[in-house]
Amino acid sequence: MKISIEWLKDYIEISNDVKKVAEELTMSGSEVEEIEKPFENVKNLFSARIVDVKPHPNADNLNVCKVYDGSIEYTVVTADKSVKVGELVIFGAANHACDFNGKSVQSMDIRGVKTDGMLFSLEELGLEAHSNKVFRFDKEIELGKDIVDLFGLDSTTLELEITPNRPDCLSHIGIAREISVIEGKKLKIPSPEVKFIPDNVNLSIESEGCFRYMGIRIDDVEVKESPLWMKKRLASIGLRSINNIADATNYVMMEFGHPIHAFDFDKIKSHKIIIRDAKLSENFTALNSKIYTFKGGEILIADVEKPLAIAGIIGGIESGINLSTKRILLEIATFDPVRIRNTSKGLNISTDASYRFERGVDPNDSVRVAKRLVDLIISIANGTVAGFSDLYPHHIEEKEVTLTNKKLFSYLSFEPENEDVEKIFNGLEMKCFSGSDGWKVKVPTFRQDISQDVDLIEEFARLKGYDSLPSKRSIPFVEGEGNKWWDFKSEIKRLVLSLGYFEAINYSFEDPKFYQFFGKTFKKGPELLNPISPEMSLMRSSLIYGLMNSLAYNVKHQEFDVKFFELGKVFGEDGEDEKIAFVSTGKLEPFDYTDKREVSLLNLKGDIEAIADFKHSNFEFVNETLDGFAIGRSGLIKINNKNCGIIGEIDEKVLDFLDLKVPVFAAEIDLKALFNSFEKVGYKPYSQYPITFRDLSMFVKKGKILSSEIIEVARASSKYVEDVKVLDLYTGKGVPSGSYSLTLRIIYGSMDRTLSDSEIDGAFNSLMNSLEAKEGITLRKVQK
Amino acid sequence: MSDIEMLVESLKLKINDVKDLEELEKVRLSVLGKNGFITSLMKKIPTLDPVERAEFGKKINEAKSKIEVLISDKANLLKMEGLKFEMIENAIDLTIPGPAPSVGKAHLITQVIDECVSVFAHMGFDVAEGPEIENIYYNFEALNTPKWHPARDLHDTFYISEDLLLRTHTSPVQIRTMERRKPPLRIVSPGRVYRNDYDATHLPSFFQIEGLAIDKDISISDLKGTLESAIKALLGKDKIVRFRPHYFPFTEPSVEVDVSFSGKTNWLEVLGAGMVHPNVLRNVGVDPEKWQGFAFGMGIERIAMLKYDVQDIREFPRNSLKFLRLF
């Protein structure tokens, strides 16, 4: 919201140090976001006299004029054919002058006539919404005078952020009141003497949503331009002048914060105002020329036939004021903020009026606002008060709020002087009474935000200044309960980082098109009702989607060796789970030039096993065809026979979708399952005697026997087997097709002695015999 | 000087000039070998007369042991030199880059969350987490923000259904925690939040960390002290902190906290805070006449950008390795 410093001076003395005022407002809760010079763009415009006017030789609708600024004569072309010799105008020279928007004046060739500059209207000075003529001074003025000085345009405006609880600050008087408390200065509120005699305005309130409605009829008004001072003030806070009546309503709204509407009294059918709820499908054309269709229940200002305005939001195009209006009806009303807000949201219209009404407007200032408004209108548009009516069905009373000293002292952690407290409350126009154990405070109705003791504490704290409150570092000790889940996640992250994976954090949104590739592999995540875009319309059901995108981004930016993991939430129809997922491509060890290997599916599996081993957990991997993964290269990860993850090589179709030309491996594990699988760690006796090993190579035919079965056979082959390790895995030259060569190392040992060669040979021979008997195994060589 | 002494002296010079072990062996053989000079002199001893014999024998033996020491010293010296030469041949240039294993890095968001959690953990705050798809009650109503409330305009909300939304802040965790745990308590809740707002300076989903401290007598001064201390721990002791009145439906009084990096001139908002609104406490069945406390929340991306001078918020969801390696 914009507040004019010059305007504020009507109500309170303002020091010349605007920065200090801004700082004080900011530090008391009305944050000044910017100190602006609204007319700073207007440059090098001077008063000048028309000394010659001729029709344009090549255009009937243009005149060519000579203007004189006291030293030089310039040529201009104007479309304002009413300009006469001798008139005083505003001239801006080409390449020097700038208008309100910062647009500089150019020298032009207008149909054969070269111009030296242009004549300005109030629109180009930002003082009028639309001008249809160039500006003329109405009295004699010195030539060559700067317009900024002549008009007093060197004004200052504050751009404020007013929080939604403070509608009372959405006005010049509201801000002046704040300053008056901060600086301890007196506030002057205009209160002209105007008498209203209830008569001649026919009102009927038929809506619960209307708290108060005051109608004032003024006859014989002269609708015309507003005086320059008013245009300037409105322009300085970003409003353009329309006509004197509309401007006066806006002006008083910006003064008191109470929105006002003016109707053309003669456009009201039967001269009767009915405040009622809208009917379903009722139509209405608003001032902005848009047609609105009501859902029913919106509060309307209507006559006996049709809606005239959407209450508290916007007026109608037909009942508005125009230059031929003679009699007006002024509305000073208060409506239910919730209903105004719902209508404003529902119809998607936000206006200065709706902004204030939905935050809460004080019905009890209506008389004061009415007097000020009528006095102002009569002074700039003539007219006489011809009618008045005031209905107030929903009375709002002052509240009394109690604040105990105990609470006040406990919140502040010190005991303020009674005088200090009283000064602040009184400054806010709150009558307060100090008792033995605290305060009773009468809260004026323009402060609907204050209803509890803590609200009063805030008023004291913010106006006393937070900087002046003590700062303590002594909150009492509380025994925490810890968070094992959080600690577990941190530990897993560190472990995975040490395996060379970078952490990625992706959006939780997913592209349904991408999801489709994974068909039955993942359940579909919930859809958003109002997504940013179709590509971000689904909640992710797997972390792999986002990781694939991150991987693709890097590969496309010449990062060919990518190992990513992400730990985060995935979503299903029945809730959300946390998972950890991995993707990898490129070199296994990009910074190790002694290691030329590329990442493989088994490397990814090995990394996952390393995590399991680290925490003494045991995962099982089972081949399974999965949508989105390459045939024969995917499977399930199981813990204690329960599915808890997937692993595989990403399918070509998915790679094509992402425009990737490299193999990518991916896996995902449920974190809860991982957490629960971890064995409790503790001491177990281990053998103190030397071990012996035997290595065994064999060809294994794929599809006939699983390597896990072979290892299981080896493990179970003798009570002396301590461990079985894979020494080598090889396919290629010398290995029959469809087979692979596997070398195992069988480690033998005993808890109580060193085993003899004959014991080990016996065990090893029996293992060889049992393996040889298995279909799909051909033993190759035996090594001692 | 006797002949023998002269012989020893000349041998000393000869041994000194020897270049390798092979040559030294030749010298040794020429003196101490079967037909060596000393050996043949010793053979002469029995032929001498007894008086001369003792004298001569003593001299020869002395000379022999002197020569033996000379040769073995030289041999040791030559061996050492040989070893050294071999080592130089096999030396490793330590300026050659090592074949390094890859170590990953945590995302900057994680690093900053961990820093924040650590700062508050040292003050006794537990980590608490909650769901990201949240019931409208926990996200708004329970936090004293009814449907009609204009403050809801500040939260452009993603909806899953009429009742379910993507949480717009981590504050629902406060409610869920207080429903489960009775005061006194101290929690921080880091996590992802969502707003339907996407442009050069806003992400549709980002991270926050929120804190809550409820006790018998917690005051605005405790809020000030705790947050000053935390901000200085996070952003540096030299930073200046100010508390500016603000409004949030779920705290009263409410403040925003600004930090200045360059004296008291350029203030940057870093967090929102306040004393927990009595209505919020009532909503979870905690009596505001007995318990009070403060809550605060801040944006992780914002802290990360301030602390590490990240200029573009869109770096965070991009996951460029070039970006991730920087931190």
Q: What is the pLDDT of residues A170-229, one digit of tens each?
A: 999 999 999 999 999 999 998 899 999 888 899 999 999 999 999 999 999 999 999 999
Query: The tokens 């199981």 sit on which residue?
Result: A638
Using an 8 Å Cβ cutoff, are B142 and A534 in contact?
no
Cβ neighbours of residue B287 under 8 Å, at least 6 residues apart?
Answer: B281
Which of B106, B123, B322 minimises the CB distance to A493? B106
Which of B110, B220, B245 minimises the CB distance to A412? B220
Helix, strand, coil percent values for chain B (each to nearest 5): 45, 20, 30
Is residue A12 very low, low, confident or very high in pLDDT (cuts 50, 70, 90)? very high
With a cut of 90, say whether residue B61 has pLDDT above it.
no
With a cut of 70, say whether residue B1 has pLDDT above it.
no
With a cut of 80, say whether residue A120 has pLDDT above it.
yes
The predicted-structure confidence for A132-186, as pLDDT tens digits, reads as follows 899 999 889 999 999 999 998 999 999 999 999 999 999 999 999 999 999 999 9
- The percent of residues in chain B predicted with pLDDT above 90, rounded, is 70
What gap in Å lies between CA A593 and CA A580, rounded to an integer? Answer: 30
Rounded to a whole number, what is the distance in Å from the CA of A614 to chain B's nearest CA?
17
Over residues B108-116, the mean pLDDT reads 98
Mark which residues 3-62 of B lie under 8 Å from A by CB. Answer: none
Is residue B41 very low, low, confident or very high in pLDDT (cuts 50, 70, 90)? confident
Q: What sign results for the dihedral spanned by CA atoms A214, A215, A221, A222?
A: positive
Quick one: which of A753, A621, A623, A625 has its CA closest to A687?
Answer: A753
Cβ neighbours of residue A734 under 8 Å, at least 6 residues apart?
Answer: A741
Q: What is the pLDDT of residue A519?
A: 86
The predicted-structure confidence for B183-203, as pLDDT tens digits, reads as follows 999 999 999 999 998 988 899
With a cut of 90, say whether residue B53 has pLDDT above it.
no
Q: Which of B163, B221, B254 to mutate to test the interface with A (most CBs of A within 10 A)?
A: B221
Task: Report phi then psi at B71, rounded to 5.
Answer: -70, -45
Over residues B52-59, the mean pLDDT reads 85
Cβ neighbours of residue A627 under 8 Å, at least 6 residues apart?
Answer: A517, A518, A519, A520, A521
With a cut of 80, say whether residue B265 has pLDDT above it.
no
- Do the Cβ atoms of B317 and A505 come within 8 Å? yes
- Do the Cβ atoms of A507 and B204 come within 8 Å? yes
What gap in Å lies between CA B37 and CA B43, rounded to an integer? Answer: 10
List the beta bridge partners of residue A269: none
Is residue B242 very low, low, confident or very high in pLDDT (cuts 50, 70, 90)? very high
- The DSSP symbol for B313 reads T
Cβ neighbours of residue A645 under 8 Å, at least 6 residues apart?
Answer: A619, A636, A637, A667, A668, A669, A670, A673
Q: What is the pLDDT of residue B48?
A: 84
Chain A residues whose CB is inside 8 A of the B268 CB are none
Q: Which of A169, A448, A454 to mutate to test the interface with B (most CBs of B within 10 A)?
A: A454
Rounded to a whole number, what is the distance in Å from the CA of A86 to chain B's nearest CA?
53
Question: Which chain A residue has its CA at the smallest distance from B205's CA?
Answer: A507
CB burial of residue B191 (10 Å; 0-12, 13-18, 19+) = buried
- Do the Cβ atoms of A476 and B184 come within 8 Å? yes
Integer-rounded Cα radius of gyration of chain A: 41
Q: What are the structure tokens assigned to B79, written together?
A: 């061996």
CA distance between the termini of chain B = 81
Quick one: which of A505, A75, A449, A48 has its CA closest to B254?
Answer: A449
What pTM was computed for the model? 0.87
Q: What is the pLDDT of residue B154?
A: 67
What gap in Å lies between CA A726 and CA A744, rounded to an integer? Answer: 5
Cβ neighbours of residue B22 under 8 Å, at least 6 residues apart?
Answer: none
With a cut of 70, say whether residue A348 has pLDDT above it.
yes
Query: The tokens 């006539």 sit on which residue?
Result: A113
What gap in Å lies between CA A28 and CA A18, rounded to an integer? Answer: 15
CB burial of residue A194 (10 Å; 0-12, 13-18, 19+) = middle
Q: What is the pLDDT of residue A780?
A: 86
Is residue A285 very low, low, confident or very high in pLDDT (cuts 50, 70, 90)? very high
Q: What are the structure tokens assigned to A68, written together?
A: 């004189």
The three-class DSSP label of residue A434 is strand
Is residue A506 very low, low, confident or very high in pLDDT (cuts 50, 70, 90)? very high
Question: Rounded to an integer, what is the distance from CA A71 to the centroid of its chain?
Answer: 55
Integer-rounded Cα radius of gyration of chain B: 43
Over residues B112-117, the mean pLDDT reads 97
Question: Which chain A residue has its CA at the smallest distance from B160's CA?
Answer: A528
Which of B127, B253, B316 minimises the CB distance to A458? B253
CA distance between the termini of chain A = 88
Of A493-497, A516-520, A612-616, which has the strongest mean pLDDT? A493-497
Is residue B249 very low, low, confident or very high in pLDDT (cuts 50, 70, 90)? very high
Residue B247's region, left for phi above 0, alpha for psi from -120 to 50, else beta, is beta
Using an 8 Å Cβ cutoff, are A664 and A551 in contact?
yes
Over residues A514-527, the mean pLDDT reads 92
Query: Is residue B184 reached through a cis peptide bond, with omega within 30 degrees of 0 on the bond before it?
Result: yes
Query: Is residue B101 reached through a cis peptide bond, with omega within 30 degrees of 0 on the bond before it?
Result: no
Q: What is the pLDDT of residue A553?
A: 97
Q: What is the pLDDT of residue B52?
A: 83
B130 has a chain A CB within 8 A of its CB: no
Q: Which of A34, A451, A505, A675 to mutate to test the interface with B (most CBs of B within 10 A)?
A: A505
Which of B149, B160, B320 minimises the CB distance to A553? B320
Using an 8 Å Cβ cutoff, are B323 and B315 in contact?
yes
Is residue A681 very low, low, confident or very high in pLDDT (cuts 50, 70, 90)? confident
Using an 8 Å Cβ cutoff, are A226 and A418 in contact?
no
The three-class DSSP label of residue B99 is coil
Over residues A629-648, the mean pLDDT reads 95
Element (H, E) at B61: helix B50-89
Using an 8 Å Cβ cutoff, are A417 and A409 in contact?
no
Q: What is the pLDDT of residue A781?
A: 65
What gap in Å lies between CA A264 and CA A2, rounded to an integer? Answer: 29
Q: What is the pLDDT of residue A782?
A: 57
Is residue B262 very low, low, confident or very high in pLDDT (cuts 50, 70, 90)? confident
Query: The tokens 């905690």 sit on which residue?
Result: B286
Distances (CA, A) of A285 to A194, A201, A307, A660: 35, 24, 9, 55
Question: Which chain B residue has its CA at the smallest distance from A502's CA?
Answer: B104
